Amino acid sequence: MTLSSALGFVCCSGFAQSTRITPPTEAAIAINTTQDATQDEATKAAFNTTRFEAILDAHDNFRLVAFPEYALRRGVETRAGELTDTSLMGVKRRQAGLTNLLRELNQLDSTKLSTNDARDYALLQRELQLGVDGFRFGAWMMPVSGRSGPQQEIPQMGELGTFADLDDYNAYVSRLLSVPGSLLGTVEVLRAGIAEGVMPPRVTVEQVPLQIRAARVGLRDALRKPFAKMPKSISSEDTQRLLAEFERCLDPIDTVLTEFEAFFIEEYLPHCRATIGASDMKDGVAWYEFQLQLHTTTKLTAKEIHETGLAEVARIRSEMMSVIARTDWYSADPSRASMDADARFAAFINYLRTDARFYCTSAEQLLARYRDVCKKIDPKLPELFATCPRLTYGVREIPRFMAPAQTTAYYQPGSPQRGEPGWFYANTYALDQRPTYEFIPLSLHEAVPGHHFQIALAQELTGAREFRKDLDSTAFVEGWALYAERLGIEMGFFNDPYDDFGRLLYEMWRACRLVVDPGIHAFGWTRDAAIEFMQHNTALSELNIVNEVDRYISWPGQACGYKIGELAIRRLRAEAELALGARFDLRRFHDAVLLQGPLPLEQLEQNVHAWIDAERARIATQ
């Protein structure tokens, strides 16, 4: 998965400051709408195009102004010393900005736009409409969970961004000075949630006080990292000044984190829900339907998704049994062939969970194994891809203070504009819960050709409007990463049956999500029922299963995007292979999928079908 959150606007996240950010006004994005009734069609078309460009510019400016961290990743440093305003007023101002932009966009006549502009119009309209529609459900009043929030973001501030010159360090210190205001803004929003009765399930936030405490223990050292090796271009006088200013930031941050912990324990947790389903919230049924639409980019119902999941679970289970029969565990004891399928599966899973051969003995060994896998993947990529990203990536350890409640791994995007690599973060907590047969599919998913590959290519697109590079489409982004795991077959990485079982394990894991997520949020499943279903059908460790189920509870619908997206990409590839036969070029197909940026599945399907037609025409002329 990718480590990002959507607080008031999709694909942008960050902290807050006391500065109030004014969203674009109508005057800022509107142009003269007066038209003579006698204008010819060409003039009307030109008018619409000019106005559409003005709205696009206003939308891009809105994101750069409202989200300084996003601007910094884009290489726009005019607000590098600021943080996103997470206060109640800040959230509402951003929402007003989105509403205003959508109103201006809806006044356009999209039929007068060019084909490409009409496509971008539809995509921007969808993006803005989702932002406006989602606000009414109030999920923005729950910005903190066991997997996200200032208790995790603040200690990592020293790792995010480049530190190449004096301006970078001045901006860093300025951002640190804004942290206390950021936390106060977050608390204000959390209190609004208490007042409105918009509260998360208690089980998803119980670990937050422990995370705050753990963050405080190593906070000073974590934030001091950028000063360990400063550029020689910074004078000794400036170095001493910066260090003194940095030290003055630390006590206020520690103080406000201490107050945040007390607030969470004494005021917030007592109001959290004992129930876990989205349907238990105010307007929860409609909210879950919205979440499914948002993350799958389809109109599939909870029942349809649930039934798709059950069918996929049955299919993958059959493949798993075939792989088990290829293992040395199966051949070592002839009696295992006579066991019924469920008993054999359970015995094999127990073997995987308990045999030391599948586990590393140190964090260093685990990280080295992941890096080794990535090095083996890299040279295979040109065989499958005509276009590869220029941006590099690396493997890092998930910070230990947040590791117990985090998933097995995640990807943190880099910045081509600032020369920052992407990072594949791996969890080294509880080594006996991190089996080595996960390493290949996880590396393919989080690094290449999964998240890093897809996101870096989108970041590097030339000629594409900026909003297209990070369009909110879980089904595309996560569906591609799951599809990328399967590409390991064509790379020759799953000849070992245990590695192949690991691939199927991860596919099963995502299929189970289609069953469990609607089960929890639409059909009244308990947390224990969800955990039991995952235990019965996957070889995930108990810790991973519990963390995953709690993730589904806290983030309704998101987990459904993976398998729905992957199934769509696989179906489109099968259609292209059938239509083009021996002339099908996988490298060109991957370009067709990736080089328009992340898309809703309907738009992706239209693009691939158009590509198939173009390929037929190209082949016919050869």
Structure tokens at 607: 């693009």
* Every domain of the chain and the residues it spans: 10-136, 139-274, 291-563
pTM (2 d.p.): 0.91
* Confidence tier at 461 by pLDDT (50, 70, 90): very high
Q: How far apart are CA 402 and CA 151, in angstroms?
A: 9
- Tens digits of per-residue pLDDT, 356-379? 999 999 999 999 999 999 999 999
Residue 519 pLDDT exceeds 60: yes
Task: Name which of 4-18, 26-40, 286-300, 552-566 the model is least confident about.
Answer: 4-18
* SS3 state at 187: helix
Is residue 594 within 8 A of residue 454, CB to CB? The reply is yes
* Residue 12: predicted pLDDT: 33
Q: What is the pLDDT of residue 60?
A: 97
Confidence of residue 186 (pLDDT cuts 50, 70, 90): very high
Joined together, the tokens standing for residue 67 give: 């989200």
Residue 356 pLDDT: 96
pLDDT of 278 > 70? The answer is: yes
The predicted pLDDT at position 406 comes to: 83
User: In angstroms, how far apart are the furthest CA atoms of the chain?
Assistant: 87
Radius of gyration for the chain, computed over Cα atoms and rounded to the nearest angstrom:
25
* Distance from C-alpha of 567 to C-alpha of 479, rounded to nearest angstrom: 8
2 band by pLDDT with thresholds 50, 70 and 90: low
Q: Which residues, other chains included, contact 591 with Cβ-Cβ below 8 Å and sequence gap of 6+? A: 385, 386, 387
Question: Residue 333: which H helix or E strand, with range?
Answer: none
pLDDT of residue 341: 95
Q: What is the pLDDT of residue 164?
A: 93
Question: For 95-102, what is the mean pLDDT?
Answer: 97
- What pLDDT score was predicted for residue 39? 59
Both tokens of residue 443? 């590396």
**pLDDT > 70 in the chain, percent:** 94
Contact 22, 93 (CB under 8 A): yes
- Who wins on pLDDT, 1 or 553? 553
Mean pLDDT, to the nearest integer, of 53-57?
97
Average pLDDT over residues 266-278: 98
Q: Is the pLDDT of residue 353 over 60?
A: yes
Q: What is the pLDDT of residues 484-504, one digit of tens each?
A: 999 999 999 999 999 999 999
pLDDT-derived band at 346, boundaries 50, 70, 90: very high
Query: Residue 301's pLDDT band (boundaries 50, 70, 90)?
Result: very high
- Beta strands 422-426 and 393-397 are parallel
Rounded to 5°, the CA angle 208-155-237 comes to 155
Separation of alpha carbons 506 and 1, rounded Å: 13
**What pLDDT, on a 0 to 100 scale, did the predictor assign at position 26?**
40
Residue-level pLDDT at 16: 33
pLDDT (0 to 100) of residue 30: 43
pLDDT at position 32 is 46
Grade residue 249 by pLDDT with cuts at 50, 70 and 90.
Answer: very high
Calculate the average pLDDT of the chain.
92
Amino acid 162: pLDDT: 85
Mean pLDDT on 223-243: 96
Of 413, 480, 493, nearest to 450 by C-alpha is 480
Q: What is the mean pLDDT of residues 27-51?
A: 66
* Amino acid at residue number 9: F
